[in-house]
Structure 1
Amino acid sequence: MKRFTLYLFTLIALGLTACQQEVAHEDDSCCAKPVAEGLPDGTGTLAIPAAALTDMSLYNLDSDWQNQRGEELKLQNFQGKVQLVAMVYTHCSYACPRIVADLKRIEMGLEQYKQEDIGIVLVTMDPARDTPARLLQFAESNNLNPKRWTLLTSEQDNIRELAALLNMKYKMELDGEISHSNIISVLNENGEIIHQAEGLGVEPDETVNAIKSLLQKI
């Protein structure tokens, strides 16, 4: 898995600059939207063969995760629809609430689309404190629609592995705070990064347009 992560990270590093500027124009018949079934949070368990994933897909990672309801899942469970992904931690008092606010602004720009077309995933950087129960409390206090928003936790190694592939940098400080970059990523239905917005309070139009372009091709 470490060799795979290094290989995948190298590919993403080479291709990310171009991918951030425009959505890929190639259509792939293996990428048709599948039928999901099962998970109560709406992510679904998707019957898609591994061969459908490219080397650029984050869904090749085989790590185990838990959502805010304590349900076990794999990243592959998010395959099949466009996903907005960001990393936060619930004890953050400044940057992370602004990231959530930015995601809500993007969500508002996509109101014409169905909930099953777009997912929003928040991944904690603080698994020691951000238990599933804590994540559920955070989701409820921020009025995050459980049919669209999924909050994830896992072992620290799994989180750092995903963070590296998302180009997310973070560092645990002695006072319990976490220094981190602020990035919102857009994944296509097969888990490939096609757009990233870095910073806080970034105008949502570019991200919204990138998502609309993807949805038109699914």
Structure 2
Amino acid sequence: MSGRLASLLLAALLSCPAQSHDAPHNQRLPVIRTAPDFTLTSQDGNRVSLHDFRGKAVAVTFIFASCTDTCPLLTDNMARVQDKLGSVFGSKVAFVSITVDPERDTPEALKQYAQNFGANLKGWAFLTGDPVVIREVERKYGVFAKKTASGDIDHTFLTSLIDPKGNLRVQYLGVRFDLEEFRGDLLKLLDEAE
């Protein structure tokens, strides 16, 4: 990670109202704020908004398809959780992966990326859009992205959990978070809604 990105990350953590996951297993996850809505374009070319997922627990991540470093690790982890969720995936739990490289990540590129990881597109949307709109979504979720001289993108890895009512509940920083805890938190948000 470059020093500049580390500085941006530190600034984001100090100024962002969101909290990382620290609730004991027997406590409710905190309500941070209403999750910022967005409308972007899916891997199938359809318009998708966050409010389309109301009634479901949603995990929002930020990736880019040509990444060869950390994005594949995060996406693979998410795919493993997708498989462990079984029948609730798609019907009650959804994943949304938003590109930080909208100039290169067309819907077709994102669809291929999704297929490479065995993403179940009945419950997982891969989104792109106008670069200005993408930057605004990144900002609202506390994600910073910067193109490097090599054309790669340095960005913060922040996975946000949103409850069925549309509230941002917790954010996981990085890609090496506990997948069972993550799955359990998604199910906990569903239990609250019943």
Counterpart Cα distance in 2 of 1:129 and 1:213: 36
1:17 to 16, 19, 25: 19
Listed one character per residue, the Cα deviations across residues 34-53 of structure 1 (whole Å, up to 9, x for unaligned) are: xxxxxxxxxxxxxxxxxxxx
Structure 1 residues 18 and 128, CA gap change in structure 2 (3 angstroms): closer
**Which position in structure 1 is the counterpart of 2:166?**
191
Counterpart Cα distance in 2 of 1:88 and 1:130: 10
Q: CA deviation at 1:201?
A: 2.4
Does the 8 A contact of 1:57 with 1:190 survive in 2? no
Structure 1 residues 57 and 201, CA gap change in structure 2 (3 angstroms): closer
1:56 to 2:56 alignment: no
- Secondary structure at the counterpart of residue 91 of structure 1: coil
Does the 8 A contact of 1:122 with 1:150 survive in 2? yes
- Secondary structure at the counterpart of residue 23 of structure 1: coil
Q: CA deviation at 1:193?
A: 1.5
Does the 8 A contact of 1:195 with 1:207 survive in 2? no
Counterpart Cα distance in 2 of 1:96 and 1:134: 14
- Secondary structure at the counterpart of residue 34 of structure 2: coil
Q: What amino acid is the match of 2:79? A: K
Structure 1: give runs of 5+ residues left out of the alignment.
1-8, 26-53
TM-score with structure 1 setting the length: 0.72
| Mapping 1:149-168, distance limit 5 Å | 149-168=124-143
Moved more, 83-92 or 195-204: 195-204
Counterpart Cα distance in 1 of 2:162 and 2:103: 27
Counterpart Cα distance in 2 of 1:132 and 1:114: 22
2:148 to 173, 179, 190: 173
Q: CA deviation at 1:73?
A: 2.9
Residue-pair matches, total: 176
Moved more, 102-111 or 123-132: 102-111
Counterpart Cα distance in 1 of 2:172 and 2:102: 24
Q: What amino acid is the match of 1:56? A: T
**Percent identity between the two aligned chains:** 24
Once superposed, what is the RMSD of the aligned Cα atoms? Answer: 2.5
TM-score with structure 2 setting the length: 0.80
Does the 8 A contact of 1:168 with 1:182 survive in 2? yes
Moved more, 184-193 or 111-120: 111-120
Counterpart Cα distance in 1 of 2:87 and 2:48: 29
| Mapping 1:25-36, distance limit 5 Å | none
Counterpart Cα distance in 2 of 1:75 and 1:114: 16
